[in-house]
Each structure stands twice: as structure tokens, then as C-alpha cells.
Amino acid sequence: MLINSVILVLREVLEAAILVTALLALARVIQLGFNWLWPAAVASVAGVIGLASALGPLTDMLDGTGQEVTNAALQIGVFFVVCAVILDTRERSDGRHYSAFTGPLMALAVALAVTREGSEVLLYVRGFAAVESYRQAVLLGSALGAGIGVSAGTLCYWALVTRPGRLAYRLCLASLCLLGAGMVMQGVMLLEQAGWLLNVDPVWNSSWLVSEESVTGELLYAVLGYEATPGRVQLGLYLASLALAISASIYAARSPYRGGQTS
Amino acid sequence: MTSIRVSLVAMLIAAFTLVSFLAALLGYRASMDRAEELLDTQLRYAVDILRYHDAVGAEATGANSPERQIDSPERQIDSPEPGADSPGPEGDKSLQPGEGFAFQVWRDDQLLQHAGVPGSEPMASFDAGFDYANFGGFRWRTLTVAGADGTWYQVAERADLRFTLAERVVMESVLPLLTWLPVAAVLIWFLVGWGLAPLRSLSQQINRKASDDLEPLVFPTPPVELRPVVGSTNALLARLSSALQRERDFASHAAHELRTPISGLKIHLHNLSQDLSADHPSLCHIRADVDRMQHLVEQLLDISRTQPELMRGHFATVNLHALAERVAASLWPLFSEAGLSLSLGGEDCTVQGDEVMLDTLLRNLLDNARKYAGRGSEVEVTTGMDEGRPCLVVTDDGPGIPAAERDQVFRRFYRVDDSSGVGGAGLGLAIVWQIAQLHGAEVRLDTPPPGKGLAVRVYFPVAEASQ
């Protein structure tokens, strides 16, 4: 039970932690500051509690696929907001890499991601911790998973912000591209579960290398949306989203005013 | 602004948490693997007991009834009930699937004995060895062993229950990692603080240094990481000290070298005025230019001498009023010649300062007032306590300085744009500013009460003698 709790919580926390730390690092690199964190935290808590409370009615919607569709919408929503954040960090004529919208966009991305991942964790912990025999294992496993996820995020943050200015900016954008595309992949998989998309003709099968059920597979799924047998639609949407995010990054990184410092 | 201490503590706690939690998980998995081996061994023992029981029972009864149930070993050992009836042929209902243990004995597709599980179907396939199977609403760990005469012994233990005890034991060893994490965080906070003590000491030593203190930093045994910083800083201070000494020497030599030819020029001008008429236009122009050059040289030397980095003031207690009286008396003829009145007011007050520098400060203020206030103006020097501090004020009723320009007039060579045609290099107030800085004084410009003119107020720090 403990190991299951660790993996489930780690999978959810790691995904949110890496995204949040990539945005935090980007905010520091572009000298935006962290004032946007407060509204993000409030919106995240409200979102987690709200979604966890409404999950029952949501699940019954759309012929029982409401939960999958909602989660997919949140994942894909995060991707588009992340793309908007990337575009908004282009350098302006006054040397700034942010506008009045950058902070709110970052807060929105964090709130959407934490709502999605946090509600899953909350439901899991609340459900199993109610059973006396599982309580200790679930709580301990959740704490270990959350600790590992947050620690990994913290170390990623310092790894990003301690790079030289321009490199740190590019690394932040690259991280956001991969995370965003991974979220689209997860969203597509959820839509397949809901029957909205068909997963036919797997392009490859990499189960022999990394099984989806293994711990590595679970963590790769969490961070990059790993799928051992991706279908054509999945792969196409993943590559399209990755291309979109990379294009936004290139546009932002090569914005006309290159003279400004980024750290 | 980021703090090295906060960054280090955050990184160390994160790294410590990550590594210790991952190590705990690896330890947990290894412990659970070991526990599974032990539990599997127990299942083997259970099969051995079952086979022994079966063999003994067969010998005792001399026959194998086609289907009979027996008490589970657990019930006989753990729950002895004195006087309890022996199980009937239809089986003992006390061993239920919920109790976590079950067994079956099959021979030639016929169930001979069973407990803890309905007897209609085998618990697992008849393949010898361990496996997992689902029945009775639970997942079970099964062991199938082939006996003699086509007999199959199957024992099973509920998978969810068999690890409960083992998991609890392992969790007890993992839990302290979590509960002691805050203690580790506090410890890391203090340890990092101690580790950064040399850096803090260096920073404080640099902060405490006065602007004119170019002595090397005192750091007898700096840590390896700080050794280059201390070395470079001391080398820089030495170079700076040497450069400033050269500049001091230059100012001193330049004063002599520039004054001498100017004095020569003035003597020759005086001689020329004997040969030419005193109001000869060229002579008048040359005399005015030489006077201006002399004034400029004096000001340049003043501004060079009064730089805080160069100046090594000889501070003593100075009576501002007495100083003002002396300077005003010496400048009075110039004011009178220019058609201005000069008056002195206020009271005695003392400051800690360099008398020569303060003399230069007041001379520049009065010189400015004389030049810019205009003929017929009244200039007043006042000394006394204002806002609890010694204060020197020079007031005139001339055109004043526009409020927008008052912050800039202290810059070197800055001149207020006016049409008075007064010559000047724009150094007077810059010299005043530098000398005020040397004395830790504050200079304010404002318009005096009638709403016309300029008041320059120099507030000095409270000197011990004036307290």
C-alpha cells in the first residue's frame, strides 16, 4: 500500500512541481518577481477543493466520461496557457521580458495544473485514509511521494536559475515545451479512455525498454506524457503541440530586442 | 536579492529529503521482498503440515473419505476453545475467506479436504509453485504442491493481509525520517550559518571600512574559497592607495607649478600697466582673463584637494560663528566694491571639522552670492542651531536658483542658464558639496521667506562640544 501511495502521489506531485518550478525559474530569470504566486496559491486551493467536491456529478456527465474529459480539458488548457506565457516573455523595447499579463498567465497555468493533480491526490488520500488499516501506509506513502516530488522540483529550480542568464531563459522555455507537450499527450490519452479519440495502429512498442507499469514509466508519464504504444493520432498531436511550443519559444527567444539582460 | 544561506538551506534540505526518501523506499522494497520470502516459506511449512496431517489421518482412519474438511492449524493453535465440538463432515465454518488463509487437497479431480474457501473449484491451476489468484472477492498468494498418488495440496494466503504486519514493521523504521525532517532542517540552517561565518565576517569588515581607509583587510587565516577574494581586495586597496597618493602629490605639485606662472603673469601685467595706459583695452582683457584663470586654478585645486578619497582631514572643534566672522571680514572689501551689503548674524556654535576646508566652503558660498545676487543685493551669513544641529546659512535676495535645477547645481561644471553674463566654471557649489560630504553635513537650497533669492543651509552633525 505504501509503495502504491508513493507512486500515485509522486506521479501527480512531480508533474505539478516541475511545471511550477519551471515557471518560478522563468519568473526569476525574467525578473518578474513572485507576486503572482499568491493568487495562484489561492486559486489552486479553491480549484483542488472545488474539483474534488464536484467529481461525483462530473463523472456522471457525458455518459460517464465527465471526469476524463474534464481532466483532459485541464491538461490541454495548461498547455495553451504555457504557450501564452512563453510568447509573453519576448523582450520589449525597454528591455523587459514581461508584461502586465505574464504574472496572471503564470498564476493561471499553476492553478490549472495544481487543480488537476491536487484533486487526484486529495481524492486518493481522503478515500484510503478513511480505512483504518490503510491509513498509516497511505499517509506515510503520500508524504514520501510529495517529499520526493517537491524536492525534485526544488533542485530543478536551482539547476535552472543558477545557469547564466540567456541559457537559463532558454532552458526554462525548453522545460516548459516538454512539459506542455507531455500534458497534451496525457490529455489525449484521457480522451481515448473516454472514447472521444481512437488509439489504433501503434506506431511503436517500447514496453521492452520502459514499461508503462514500471516506476520509471510512471514517472516519465508524469513528466513527459510517456506512452509505450502511441497511436498515430496521439503521436501526431504530441508532435504538433511540441512544434507549437517550440515555435513560440523561438519567437520569444529571438524577439527583436536582444540587448537586455535576462538575469 | 537572493540569500546564499536561504538558497543553500533550501537546496540541502531538498537534496537530503530526496536522497533519504528514495533510500527509504529502496529499503522498504528490499524489506518487503525479504518479508515475502519469509511468508512464502510459511506457506511451504503449511503445505508440509497439511501433508503430514493428511498422512497421519489416513493411517488413523485407514481410509480416505471422499470429501472431508479439517480444522485449520491456526484455529487449533490460536483459538483453542475448550469443549468445542469436533468439526463434522460438512466442514468447520469458522475458517472463512476473511481470515486470510485457505487450503485444498485434491486427488484425481476430487476435493478431499478444504478450508477457508468454497470447495467447488481449485484455488489455482495444478502447476506446482507459487502464484497469485483471485477468488472469494480477494487476491491470494497461492502455493501448489504435488504429492504422491496424484494428490495436489494447495494453500493460499490473502495478499492484502499477508504484508500488513511486515509493512507496519517497515513503516515504523521509515516514519522517523519524516518526523525528524524538521529537526534536520533546523540543524542545516544553523550549520550553513556557521559555515558562512567567514563570508559574513569579510562582508562586515568591508562595510565597516571608512571611505578613506585603504588599509588591507585583516583576515589572518581565510578559508580557501575566500583567499582569492581577500587577496584581490587587498591588492586593489594597495593599488588604490598608491594611485591616490600619486594624485595627492599631483595636486600639491600642480598647485605650486600653476600658481608660479600665474603670479609671474600678474607681475608682468603690472609692469605693462606702467608702460601702457591703465585702461588700455587689451590690458584690461588680459587682466580679467588672468584673474579668471587664477580663480579657476584655485577652484580646481580645491576640488582636487577636497575629494573624500584624497582628503585626510584634521578634524578639530571649530566655532562656526568665529569662522564666519573672519571670512566675512576678509571678503567685505570685495562685496563693498561690487555694491553688495554683507552682514553676519546668529550665535556661536561648534562643529567637528577641518577649519581650512570649512573656510573654503564658506568662501565659495559667499563668492557665489557675490557673483549672482547682483549689485545692491543683501547677503547675510547666519550661524546657530537649527533642527537641533549646528547650521550655517548664507542668504541673498538675488534671482535664486529655479527649484528644478537645485539638485544639479552641485555637479561639477554645471552652470545655471542665465543671462547675467557672470563668468564662472561651475565648480563653487561642487566644492561646497564635497566639503560638506567630508564633514557628514547636509546641504539644502531653498528660497528665503520673502520669496526671493537663495538660502544655502549647511547642517552639520552635532559635535560633542556643542551638545
Number of Cβ within a 10 Å radius of residue B225: 9
d(CA B191, CA A214): 39
Number of Cβ within a 10 Å radius of residue B361: 31
CA–CA–CA angle B84, B85, B90 (5° rounding): 135
B112: exposed, middle or buried (Cβ count in 10 Å: 0-12, 13-18, 19+): buried
CA dihedral over B322, B324, B325, B330, signed as positive or negative: positive
Pick from B263, B282, B305: which residue ends a domain? B305
Give the nearest chain B residue to A140 (CA atoms): B175
Give domain status of residue B379, yes or no: yes
Mean per-residue pLDDT for A151-174?
Answer: 90
> Where residue B334 sits, what CATH number does that domain have?
3.30.565.10
Cβ partners under 8 Å of residue A43, min gap 6: A107, A108, A110, A111, A115
Shared domain for B297 and B320, answered yes or no, is: no
Q: Do A150 and B24 touch (CB under 8 A)?
A: no
Give the nearest chain A residue to B11 (CA atoms): A155
Distance from CA of B408 to the nearest CA of A (A): 26
- The reported pLDDT for the residue numbered B159 is 83
**Is the ipTM here above 0.85?**
no
B140 in helix, strand or coil?
strand
Q: Identify all chain A residues contacting B167, using CB atoms and an 8 Å cutoff.
A: 1-2, 137
Written as one letter, the residue type at B42 is Q
Shared domain for B110 and B246, answered yes or no, is: no
Shared domain for B298 and B427, answered yes or no, is: no
Give domain status of residue B370, yes or no: yes
Locate all alpha helices (DSSP H) within chain A, ordered by sequence: 2-29, 37-64, 66-88, 102-129, 132-161, 165-193, 215-224, 232-253
Q: Give the DSSP H or E segment for B295.
A: helix B281-305
Residue with cell string 504504444: A229
Q: Do A154 and B14 touch (CB under 8 A)?
A: yes
Shared domain for B338 and B443, answered yes or no, is: yes
Looking at the whole model, is its pTM more than 0.95? no
Length in residues, chain A: 263
d(CA A61, CA A67): 8
Cβ-count burial B301-330 (b if 16+ within 10 Å, e if not) = bbbbbbbeeebebeeeebbbbebbeebbee
Per-10-residue mean pLDDT, chain B, length 467: 84 91 84 86 89 75 48 38 39 54 85 78 86 85 85 87 75 83 92 90 84 79 87 90 80 75 85 78 82 78 69 77 90 87 88 86 88 84 89 88 81 68 72 86 85 87 63
Separation in Å, CA A110 to CA A82, A178, B1, B23, B400: 9, 16, 24, 30, 59
Shared domain for B425 and B331, answered yes or no, is: yes
Give domain status of residue B62, yes or no: no
Record the cell numbers describing residue B25, joined without a space: 523506499
Written as one letter, the residue type at B318 is V
- The reported pLDDT for the residue numbered A257 is 53
Q: How far is CA A139 from the centre of its chain?
A: 23
Mean per-residue pLDDT for A178-191?
Answer: 90
Shared domain for B29 and B130, answered yes or no, is: yes
Distance from CA of A113 to the nearest CA of B (A): 22
Q: Do B25 and A6 touch (CB under 8 A)?
A: yes
Give the nearest chain A residue to B15 (CA atoms): A151
Label the pairing between strands B378-386 and B341-346: parallel
Short-list B152, B148, B109, CA closest to B129: B152
Contacts 24+ apart (CB under 8 A), A61-64: A62/A194
Shared domain for B192 and B289, answered yes or no, is: no
Give the nearest chain B residue to A33 (CA atoms): B1
Shared domain for B243 and B353, answered yes or no, is: no
Give domain status of residue B403, yes or no: yes
Record the cell numbers describing residue B27, joined without a space: 529499503
Q: Is the pLDDT of residue A261 over 70?
A: no
Q: Identify all chain A residues contacting B178, using CB atoms and an 8 Å cutoff.
A: 140, 143-144, 147
- The reported pLDDT for the residue numbered B84 is 38
Written as one letter, the residue type at B439 is H
- The reported pLDDT for the residue numbered B143 is 92
- The reported pLDDT for the residue numbered A175 is 92
Residue with cell string 485444498: B104
Structural domain span for residue B381? 312-459
Shared domain for B45 and B129, answered yes or no, is: yes
Mean per-residue pLDDT for A221-248?
Answer: 88
Separation in Å, CA B258 to CA A114, B75, B290: 76, 118, 12
CA–CA–CA angle A122, A127, A132 (5° rounding): 125
Pick from B150, B173, B208: which residue ends a domain? B208
Record the cell numbers describing residue B100, joined without a space: 486470510
Give domain status of residue B279, yes or no: yes
Shared domain for B204 and B254, answered yes or no, is: no
Record the cell numbers describing residue B257, joined without a space: 607649478
Distance from CA of B179 to the nearest CA of A (A): 10
* B366 and B328 Cβ atoms separated by less than 8 Å: yes
d(CA B163, CA B175): 17
Q: Do B178 and A154 touch (CB under 8 A)?
A: no
Separation in Å, CA B236 to CA A76, A126, B199, B214, B243: 57, 64, 18, 9, 10
Written as one letter, the residue type at B278 is A
Compare CB distances from A137 to B13, B29, B171 and report the shortest one's residue.
Answer: B171
Q: Identify all chain A residues contacting B24, using CB atoms and an 8 Å cutoff.
A: 144
pLDDT band at A129; cut points 50, 70, 90 = confident
- E-assigned strand segments in B267-338: 316-319
| B384 backbone dihedrals φ, ψ, rounded to 5° | 160, -170
Number of domains in chain B: 3
* A35 and A168 Cβ atoms separated by less than 8 Å: no
Cβ partners under 8 Å of residue B89, min gap 6: B65, B67, B68, B69
Give the nearest chain A residue to B160 (CA atoms): A1
Pick from B155, B176, B208: which residue ends a domain? B208
Q: Is the pLDDT of residue A40 over 90?
A: yes
Distance from CA of B158 to the nearest CA of A (A): 14
Compare CB distances from A143 to B22, B164, B178 and report the shortest one's residue.
Answer: B178
Give the nearest chain A residue to B8 (CA atoms): A158
- The reported pLDDT for the residue numbered A150 is 92
Give domain status of residue B329, yes or no: yes
Shared domain for B406 and B286, answered yes or no, is: no
Shared domain for B11 and B125, answered yes or no, is: yes
Q: Do A3 and B32 touch (CB under 8 A)?
A: yes
- The reported pLDDT for the residue numbered A21 is 92
Give domain status of residue B250, yes or no: yes
Q: Do A158 and B181 touch (CB under 8 A)?
A: no
